[in-house]
């Protein structure tokens, strides 16, 4: 950006601008600091969560990786997260294509129905699933948890893929047809490559949603189904050991990895984009 | 052609629609139905229910009704099924449980008229209002839970009256939820503005770094961030250690389990939701308008108030609505860092589902919370352009 694009503060005295930068820096520190504070705490050699730490050690990470409860929780989180991602992404992508192709009345209603879990307060979803899953014998099962997480994360897949389909230029399909491609072939060769970034983003959201989800797990998971957030919550409630800080650091690192993957997908999609978004101002 | 296309569309949508219907819409409907359903008394005391349906409500019921009630209750108690009925009746009016239990205990020695024995045992049995209350619980539907969730109840003669002060907790709860959400939303909007503005004018390299610093907390789970605050705000935590070592305070300050902690942690969790939409709106504001205003001689503050602020308002509105919508349903953060006086509606929905089991009131509160959120979604849908396409994560 050039100086010409920020005329609003151009003629202001620099102190105003400095103040603005100072406020912004302080607020960004406020946003990141609590997350950073967990890192030294997790490396403490002491039993208490205090700063400065008496010394540094890996003991709490050793504790995490040798504790059956934390390992089970990690395993459960990945199993539920991966299954949720697979189901939500496949069904969500198919439904988005259906919603894109369909020309029927009530389409908006179907979309609203499918997105409802996103705007419903999670506690309401949680008690609804608590009652119904126990009623059909799926309470305290990983299957129940996968179903719940799938419903919670499907709207993200749906809306991301649908947005990318709506930006899709139908002329490309006509071009493919005029070159002799049948509809199935043109779907695989033309549509799918163009919506792949959106599908990948949707899958990432689905995994993150499931991996972070606590409230539903609070209601429908017994200790054998505890996920990482659920195990962390139990830990905070029982005894605040630095193992919780170690678990928090591991979850933060995974979130940062997911964020980086998402940014990479976005940048690559922007570079290879053939969609009309390039044409919008 | 149209039909074939729609058939294909239907086939593609059907699997997901089926999944969402079966594992979300139906459970949600069934749960909200609990707010008006009145099944305990009719299912466990069917004969009493049938007899009371015929009772005119004026004079005391006949001996047969008294006898059937006590008989059915005793049978239920022997099968350990009396609990829900007693809870239901006691929720209709506190004291009914002990009245019934007293009658049940004494009934072992009854010989002759149950009615006369009960009236001799406790004069309340001679009050038609007691029977009115029992009859009101015979279903199939009841307004009780919705009335209670706004601190009202049915008095004698079916008139809606306010509940007694010690039971009137729900209006206060709604006000508290609303108050916390409004304060958090205002703080987020005010703090998001300078950040989003600075990010929108900085050179690209700095903007990218700044956006990353907003996205990292955004992608970090709410529980992890709340846990961080839980640790930081402890009496022996890092903030108190800092304050004491700088000699700003003599004694560690109590911060955890206070309203202050709830505000701090909630603002931290929700601030990125206010920054991101505002930033994308501000990036779209053309500098030409500001230049035009400057060339017409408008001073800086005036250009800001008359041009920039109105142009950025859609971003403020989008962010504020998102923050407000999310805070109204907050559960984990207040539960971890707040005190007993800082808990919001969600906490009580969980409480009435798990701890003090009263599924009717939990469902009524859930329905009201959904209604509140629904209104906010509708406002956002109508007022905020781009809300429909935007998810929670950017």
**What homologous superfamily is domain A68-273 in, according to CATH?**
MetI-like (1.10.3720.10)
Contact B370 A8 (CB under 8 A): no
Reported as a pLDDT band with limits 50, 70 and 90, residue B387 is: low
Nearest in space to A205 (alpha carbons), one of A146, A135, A255: A255
The average pLDDT across A250-258 equals 93
Buried-state track B115-138, b at ≥16 Cβ within 10 A, e below 16: bebbbebeeebeebebbbbbbbbb
Contact A28 B272 (CB under 8 A): no
Q: Of all residues in chain B, what percent are helix, strand and coil, respectively (each to 5)?
A: 75, 0, 25
The average pLDDT across B179-184 equals 96
Q: Note the pLDDT of residue B384.
A: 67
For the packed helices B128-136 and B82-92, what is the interaxial angle rounded to 10 degrees?
A: 120
Please tell me which residue of chain A has the smallest CA distance to B264. Answer: A30
CA distance A171 to A163: 17
Contact B221 A127 (CB under 8 A): no
Residue B328 scores a pLDDT above 50 = yes
Residues of chain A with Cβ-Cβ distance to B145 below 8 Å are none
Q: Note the pLDDT of residue A273.
A: 57
CA distance A148 to B362: 20
Give which of B7, B174, B220 to mutate to test A binding, by max A Cβ within 10 Å.
B220
CA distance B319 to B313: 10
Nearest in space to A164 (alpha carbons), one of A193, A207, A125, A133: A193
Q: Other CB atoms closer than 10 Å to residue B110's CB: what's the count?
A: 17
Residue A110 scores a pLDDT above 60 = yes
Burial environment of residue A237 by CB neighbours within 10 A (0 to 12, 13 to 18, 19 or more): exposed
Stretch among A15-19, A86-90, B212-216, B364-368 having the lowest mean pLDDT: A15-19
The average pLDDT across A263-268 equals 86
B205 interfacial to chain A (CB closer than 8 Å): no
Stretch among A65-69, A185-189, B204-208, B210-214 having the lowest mean pLDDT: A185-189
Residues in chain A: 281
Residues of chain A with Cβ-Cβ distance to B391 below 8 Å are 118, 155-156, 159-160, 205
More confident residue, B14 or A47: B14
B334 interfacial to chain A (CB closer than 8 Å): no
Residues of chain A with Cβ-Cβ distance to B35 below 8 Å are none
Task: Find the CB nearest A259 among B215, B222, B354.
Answer: B215
End-to-end CA distance of chain A: 16
**pLDDT tens by residue, A149-171:** 999 999 999 999 998 888 877 78
**pLDDT tens by residue, A126-157:** 999 999 999 998 988 999 999 999 999 999 99
- Please give the structure tokens belonging to residue B393: 């994560």
**pLDDT tens by residue, B227-241:** 999 988 988 888 888
Please tell me which residue of chain B has the smallest CA distance to A123. Answer: B346
B303 interfacial to chain A (CB closer than 8 Å): yes
CA distance B73 to B82: 6
Whether B103 contacts B121, CB under 8 Å: yes
CA distance A226 to B83: 31
Q: What number of C-beta contacts closer than 8 Å exist between A and B?
A: 284
Whether B214 contacts B195, CB under 8 Å: yes
Whether B57 contacts B135, CB under 8 Å: yes
Whether A216 contacts A80, CB under 8 Å: no
Residue A18, preceding peptide bond in cis (omega within 30° of 0): no
Please tell me which residue of chain A has the smallest CA distance to B329. Answer: A121
List, as ranges, residues 211-250 from B with C-beta within 8 Å of A: 213-217, 219-225, 227-232, 234, 236-238, 241
- Please give the structure tokens belonging to residue A170: 């139908």
For B267-333, the DSSP string reads HHHHHHHHHHHHHHHHHTS-HHHHHHHHHTT--HHHHIIIIIHHHHHHHHHHHHHHHHHHHHT--HH
Task: Find the CB nearest A34 among B5, B11, B232.
Answer: B232
Q: Where are the alpha helices (DSSP H) in B164-308?
A: 170-201, 204-219, 222-232, 238-245, 259-283, 287-295, 300-303
Whether B194 contacts A20, CB under 8 Å: yes
Contact B30 A132 (CB under 8 A): yes
Contact A28 B214 (CB under 8 A): yes
Reported as a pLDDT band with limits 50, 70 and 90, residue B370 is: very high
Whether A49 contacts B230, CB under 8 Å: no
**pLDDT tens by residue, B22-66:** 999 999 999 999 999 998 899 999 999 999 988 887 888 888 899
Q: Note the pLDDT of residue B385.
A: 60
**pLDDT tens by residue, B302-313:** 888 888 888 899
Contact B216 A148 (CB under 8 A): no
CA distance B191 to B268: 10
**To the nearest whole number, what is the mean pLDDT of chain B?**
88
For residue B334, give every residue at least 6 positions away whose Cβ sits within 8 Å of its Cβ, in sequence order, or none.
B180, B262, B266, B342, B343, B344, B347
Question: Per-domain residue ranges for chain A?
Answer: 68-273
Contact B241 A248 (CB under 8 A): no
Contact A229 B221 (CB under 8 A): yes
Residue A210 scores a pLDDT above 50 = yes
Give the closest-approach CA distance of A51 to chain B in angstroms.
5
Residue B379 scores a pLDDT above 90 = no
List, as ranges, residues 63-122 from B with C-beta within 8 Å of A: none
Is the reported ipTM for this assembly greater than 0.95? no
More confident residue, B297 or B153: B153
């Amino acid at each position: 950006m050039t100086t010409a694009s920020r005329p609003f503060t151009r003629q202001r005295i620099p102190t105003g601008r400095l103040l603005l930068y100072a406020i912004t820096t302080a607020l960004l520190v406020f946003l990141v600091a609590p997350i950073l504070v967990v890192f030294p705490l997790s490396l403490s050699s002491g039993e208490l969560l205090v700063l400065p730490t008496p010394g540094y050690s890996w003991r709490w990470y050793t504790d995490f990786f040798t504790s059956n409860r934390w390992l089970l929780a990690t395993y459960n989180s990945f199993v539920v997260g991966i299954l949720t991602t697979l189901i939500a992404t496949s069904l969500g992508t198919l439904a988005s294509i259906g919603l894109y192709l369909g020309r029927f009345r009530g389409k908006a209603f179907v979309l609203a129905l499918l997105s409802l879990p996103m705007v419903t307060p999670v506690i309401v979803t949680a008690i609804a699933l608590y009652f119904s899953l126990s009623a059909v014998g799926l309470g305290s099962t990983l299957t129940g948890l996968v179903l719940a997480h799938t419903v919670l994360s499907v709207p993200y897949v749906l809306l991301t893929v649908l947005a990318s389909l709506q930006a899709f230029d139908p002329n490309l399909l006509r071009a493919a047809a005029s070159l002799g491609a049948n509809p199935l072939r043109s779907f695989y060769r033309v549509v799918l490559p163009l919506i792949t970034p959106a599908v990948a983003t949707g899958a990432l959201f689905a995994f993150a949603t499931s991996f972070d989800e606590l409230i539903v797990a609070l209601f429908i998971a017994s200790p054998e189904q505890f996920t990482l957030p659920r195990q962390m919550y139990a830990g905070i409630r029982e005894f605040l050991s630095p193992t919780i800080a170690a678990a928090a650091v591991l979850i933060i690192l995974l979130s940062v990895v997911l964020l980086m993957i998402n940014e990479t997908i976005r940048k690559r999609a922007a570079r290879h984009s053939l969609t009309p978004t390039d044409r919008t101002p | 052609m149209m039909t074939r296309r729609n058939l294909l569309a239907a086939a593609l949508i059907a699997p997901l629609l089926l999944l969402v219907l079966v594992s979300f819409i139906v459970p949600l409907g069934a749960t909200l139905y609990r707010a008006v359903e009145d099944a305990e008394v009719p299912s466990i005391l069917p004969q009493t229910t049938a007899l009371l349906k015929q009772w005119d409500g004026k004079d005391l019921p006949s001996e047969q009704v008294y006898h059937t009630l006590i008989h059915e209750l005793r049978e239920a108690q022997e099968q350990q099924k009396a609990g829900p009925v007693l809870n239901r009746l006691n929720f209709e009016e506190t004291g009914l449980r002990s009245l019934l239990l007293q009658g049940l205990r004494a009934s072992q020695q009854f010989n002759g008229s149950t009615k006369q024995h009960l009236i001799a045992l406790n004069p309340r049995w001679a009050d038609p209002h007691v029977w009115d209350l029992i009859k009101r619980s015979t279903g199939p539907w009841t307004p009780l839970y919705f009335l209670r969730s706004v601190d009202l109840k049915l008095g004698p003669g079916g008139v809606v009256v306010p509940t007694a002060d010690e039971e009137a907790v729900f209006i206060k709860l709604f006000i508290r939820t609303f108050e916390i959400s409004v304060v958090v939303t205002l703080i987020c909007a005010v703090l998001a503005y300078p950040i989003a503005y600075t990010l929108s004018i900085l050179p690209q390299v700095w903007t990218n770094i700044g956006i990353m610093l907003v996205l990292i907390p955004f992608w970090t789970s709410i529980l992890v961030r709340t846990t961080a605050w839980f640790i930081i705000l402890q009496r022996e935590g890092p903030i108190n250690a800092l304050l004491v070592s700088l000699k700003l305070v003599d004694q560690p300050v109590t911060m955890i389990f206070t309203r202050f902690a709830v505000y701090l942690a909630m603002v931290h969790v929700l601030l990125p939701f206010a920054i991101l939409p505002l930033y994308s709106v501000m990036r779209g504001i053309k500098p030409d308008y500001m230049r035009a205003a400057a060339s017409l001689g408008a001073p800086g503050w005036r250009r800001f108030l008359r041009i920039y602020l109105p142009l950025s308002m859609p971003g403020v509105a989008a962010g504020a609505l998102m923050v407000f919508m999310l805070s109204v349903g907050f559960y984990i953060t207040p539960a971890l860092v707040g005190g007993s006086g800082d808990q919001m509606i969600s906490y009580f929905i969980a409480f009435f589902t798990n701890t003090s089991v009263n599924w009717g009131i939990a469902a009524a509160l859930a329905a009201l919370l959904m209604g509140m959120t629904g209104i906010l979604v509708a406002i956002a849908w109508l007022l905020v352009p781009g809300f429909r396409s935007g998810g929670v994560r950017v």
